[in-house]
Amino acid sequence: MANLARVQVLVSGRVQGVFFRAYTRDRAMALGLTGWVRNLPDGRVAAVFEGDREKIDRMLAWLRQGPPYAAVDEVLTDWQPPLGEFQDFRIAY
């Protein structure tokens, strides 16, 4: 994969208690991305995505809308060098 990328994301808004993590996992897996997603104690959702840059961009566009019943206020991104440490995408606890 010539265009490998990694981004750490913080999503704020009404993003807990609305199946945000499950929808995010399903979407990331459908795009062939690896990484994880988890709830934070402050009400935000954190995630790391690794894979093709174009697919990550598509994931970020989806995150800005979120799943049904979510209300996303902000998506903060921190682009990092890809590490290739993940085998799949999962919900972290």
Catalytic residue among 27, 38, 39, 58: 39
Task: Indicate if 64 belongs to the active site.
Answer: no
What distance in Å separates the CA atoms of residue 33 and residue 49, rounded to the nearest whole number? 6
Contact of 32 with 44, CB cutoff 8 Å: no
Eight-state DSSP code of residue 15: -
Task: Indicate if 53 belongs to the active site.
Answer: no
Backbone angles phi, psi at 7, to 5 degrees: -140, 140
Positions annotated as catalytic residues are 21, 39
